[in-house]
Amino acid sequence: MCGIYMTIQQTDVHAGEKVFAGLKKIEYRGYDSWGVVVLNKFGFTLKKRTGKLSKLGQMHFVEGKCALGHTRWATHGGVTKENAHPHLAKNKSFVLAQNGVVENFQELREQLLDWGYDFDSETDTEVIVGLLEFEMEQQKEQKLTSKIIRSVFRKLTGRNTIAILTQSGDSFAVRDGSPLIVGRSKDSAEIYFSSDVVSLSGDAVEYVVIQSGQMVEYVGKKLKITEVKSGKLVPFSFVPMSLDATVVDKEGYSSFMLKEIYEQAKVLSKVVVGKEKEFKAVAKTIKNAKTVFTLGAGTASYAAGHTAYILRKLGVPAVAIASYESDSFKQLCDEKSVCIVYSQSGETADTNEVVEWMKAKGAKIISAVNMPGSTLTQLSDFPFMLQVGPELAVASTKAFFGQMVWGMTVCELLSGSKFVEIKEIIYKFEQQLRVWFADILVQDKIRKLAESLVHKQHLFVLGRGDLYSSSLESALKLKEISYIHAEGFSGGELKHGVIALIEQGTPVLCLVAEDENKANMLNAISEINARGGFTIVIASKDNELYKEWIEVPELKFRGMSFMTLMSIVPSQLLTCYMAMKKGCDVDKPRNLAKSVTVK
Ligand code: AGP
């Protein structure tokens, strides 16, 4: 959701082109309009457009060594050129781009209107621009200073990250919430500000993550980081870009999503690499907790649901919370509570808000995140990096699998298994998945099924027990990418209402494991068949009841059932193939953003 990319070059006059290329790398965050402003001796030149920049091919900009770019995901005001960022100050002394929402925007806008400010857009962003200009006038300053920015920033409520480029080539950025990274080239001749580390690949060789509540300024070739509230200097050091953070290539796959699905066969073991001590510490903390909450939004909420399910089976009082439905749990949370939080981005506003109130109540926060330097990592007592590599498709696949494996590992440790045994079984699962991906017959079957399902209006996914969360996640994947109306249900829920929707040819994906739920799932399948439904069963063993069978391996190790993951992979593939067939954008589904940083 919204992205910032800014550069200050010492010699290269193609800053505009560099920023345009940078914006393409943060496209995955989700946006509906974009803008690039270039600074040269004649002042600022702005180019703004609605729609996708990737469709435009090569673009040319006026020459200039400094440029600021932004991808906007509309919140205040429609998708128009006028509302796109960056916004130019009326006194032409600076341009500004913002990620976030100014929650007290109406009140501030009215104040500015009273003072005679004339708005050019409907955005909350322009309120910040107006306040900065007003403050410059009050302080009789010709140039924007860090002091002015600090005082205006303190007037804003909500989470906002802003980037500013001034007429004299000074650049400032303040982070509250939405991520902000500063990178520099090998010889320090080029400075970059961006919304994520991945986009800096190819431009910067090292980076520093700006933390929430910090301001960074690059003035007179000097980089300074300060606390926004106090203005106190913050010591910092650059870290080298790691190889993992720079893999932003489709590597021959038609989409990042397809590539990331296939990567599940090699990145899951990374979740546990080098983390034995940390996992054991977390297991101990959970053991001593009075209540364990598991938390996440969307896909991450299903991983949370699954972890809570296995924790309860181990006798741990665990409750799963979907981030946007947390109110009723407030009274149950105290200093004896522990919360396990899943988030790919670590920037989900709904999730981080819950974490904040839980922290205020004294709960311990354990998080499993995939983005280095994210807000959630900062908020956590036990932050874990999932280490599955950048996930660039909007739909989460490998990060979700990483969260599931993280939860399974902790639970297995709690039930007494050795860390080394858990590691081995994860490797084994990866191996099995590689073999399954290479099975041409199964893969062909999935492609053909996708073709036969592509014109269906509705599809249901049934799973029970351990596979209930898997059914919810499978349905979400199908909705998000192929736009088919898919719903996940417990196999047990069928008779209590859902069965009314089954008619001749209604496709129902059924997830069946060789466990205590199998008999009930077979009953459900018979009932669907009896009403003409089309049952497609994902299972390790065939059965005459199945209209279609997608064979998957079923790996178990004590309490760990990898069927929870394996049963989802066919849906991940089905949704990709269906979307491709429909001509949809697999990596950037309509209306969705990778990182949902506003509420
Ligand atoms: C995943 O496919 C979805 N796009 C979405 O549900 C996502 O999982 C959710 O918004 C949470 O994001 P997070 O993992 O970055 O917190």
Indicate whether 427 and 508 sit together in one domain.
no
Half-sphere exposure of 557 (CA within 13 A, CB side): 22
Indicate whether 421 and 450 sit together in one domain.
no
Give which of 398, 352, 391 is closest to 375, Cα–Cα.
352
Which residue puts its alpha carbon closest to atom 2 of ligand 1?
A: 395
543, 535 Cβ separation under 8 angstroms: no
Domain boundaries, position 145:
3-248
Is residue 77's pLDDT more than 90? Answer: no
Is residue 243's pLDDT more than 70? Answer: no
By DSSP bridging, strand 507-511 and strand 485-490 are: unpaired
Indicate whether 166 and 297 sit together in one domain.
no
Annotation says 2 is catalytic: yes
Output the CA 368–ligand 1 centroid distance in Å. 13
Q: Which residues pair with 88 in a beta bridge?
A: 95
Q: Which atom of ligand 1 is nearest to the CA of 594?
A: 4
Q: How large is the average pLDDT for residues 325-354? A: 95
DSSP 8-state secondary structure symbol assigned to residue 14: B
Tens-digit pLDDT profile for residues 484-513: 999 999 999 998 998 999 999 999 999 999
Indicate whether 212 and 293 sit together in one domain.
no
Tens-digit pLDDT profile for residues 271-322: 999 999 999 999 999 999 999 999 999 999 999 999 999 999 999 999 999 9
DSSP class per residue in 510-569: EE--SSTTHHHHHHHHHHHHHTT-EEEEEESS--TT-SEEEE----EETTEETHHHHTTH
Indicate whether 40 and 142 sit together in one domain.
yes
Output the CA 45–ligand 1 centroid distance in Å. 36
Number of H helices, E strands in the chain: 16, 26
Output the CA 477–ligand 1 centroid distance in Å. 11
Q: Which atom of ligand 1 is nearest to the CA of 298?
A: 6
Which residue puts its alpha carbon closest to atom 11 of ligand 1?
A: 297
Q: What is the pLDDT of residue 296?
A: 98
Q: Which atom of ligand 1 is nearest to the CA of 344?
A: 14
- Edge-first strand order for the sheet with 33-40 is 43-50, 33-40, 66-72, 3-9, 190-194, 180-184, 206-210, 239-240
Annotation says 594 is catalytic: yes
Output the CA 593–ligand 1 centroid distance in Å. 9
Q: What is the pLDDT of residue 246?
A: 47
Pick the last residue of a domain from 248, 283, 306: 248
Tell me the C-alpha distance between 345 and 22, whole Å.
19
Indicate whether 279 and 363 sit together in one domain.
yes
Which residue puts its alpha carbon closest to atom 9 of ligand 1?
A: 298
Tens-digit pLDDT profile for residues 426-465: 999 999 999 999 999 999 999 999 999 999 999 999 999 9
Name which residue leads in pLDDT, 569 or 32: 569
Choosing from 2, 66, 510, 576, which is the catalytic residue?
2
Q: Which two tokens stand for residue 169?
A: 């080539």
Pick the last residue of a domain from 433, 458, 478: 433
How high is the mean pLDDT of the chain? 93
- CATH number reported for the structural domain that contains residue 146 in this entry: 3.60.20.10
Q: What is the pLDDT of residue 37?
A: 97
> Which of 325, 348, 587 maximizes ligand 1 atoms within 8 Å of its Cβ, making it the mutation to test the pocket?
348
Percent of the chain with pLDDT over 70: 99
Q: What is the pLDDT of residue 277?
A: 96
Percent of the chain with pLDDT over 90: 82
With cut-offs at 50, 70 and 90, classify the pLDDT of residue 245: very low
Q: Which atom of ligand 1 is nearest to the CA of 480?
A: 2
Which residue puts its alpha carbon closest to atom 4 of ligand 1?
A: 395
Residues in contact with ligand 1 (CB, 6 Å cut-off)? 297-300, 343-345, 348, 351, 394-396, 480, 592, 595-596
Indicate whether 373 and 446 sit together in one domain.
no
Pick the last residue of a domain from 402, 433, 464: 433
Output the CA 298–ligand 1 centroid distance in Å. 5
Q: How large is the average pLDDT for residues 166-184? A: 93
Which residue puts its alpha carbon closest to atom 5 of ligand 1?
A: 298
Indicate whether 230 and 315 sit together in one domain.
no
Give which of 422, 490, 518 is closest to 498, Cα–Cα.
490
Q: Residue 106's CB: how many other CB atoms inside 10 A?
A: 12
Q: Which atom of ligand 1 is nearest to the CA of 376?
A: 16
Indicate whether 277 and 325 sit together in one domain.
yes
Which stretch of 189-203, 243-257, 336-350, 483-497 has the lowest confidence by average pLDDT? 243-257
SS3 239: strand
DSSP class per residue in 113-166: HHTT---SSS-SHHHHHHHHHHHHHHTT-SS--HHHHHHHHTT--S-EEEEEEE
Indicate whether 321 and 235 sit together in one domain.
no
Output the CA 585–ligand 1 centroid distance in Å. 18
Choosing from 24, 364, 398, 594, which is the catalytic residue?
594
Indicate whether 302 and 398 sit together in one domain.
yes
Q: Which atom of ligand 1 is nearest to the CA of 299?
A: 8
Is residue 476's pLDDT more than 90? Answer: yes
Tens-digit pLDDT profile for residues 26-51: 888 888 899 999 999 999 999 999 98
Output the CA 399–ligand 1 centroid distance in Å. 9
Indicate whether 342 and 454 sit together in one domain.
no
Tens-digit pLDDT profile for residues 541-563: 999 999 999 999 999 998 899 99
Q: How many domains is the chain built from?
A: 3
Q: What is the pLDDT of residue 248?
A: 65
- CATH number reported for the structural domain that contains residue 398 in this entry: 3.40.50.10490
Q: How large is the average pLDDT for residues 394-406? A: 97
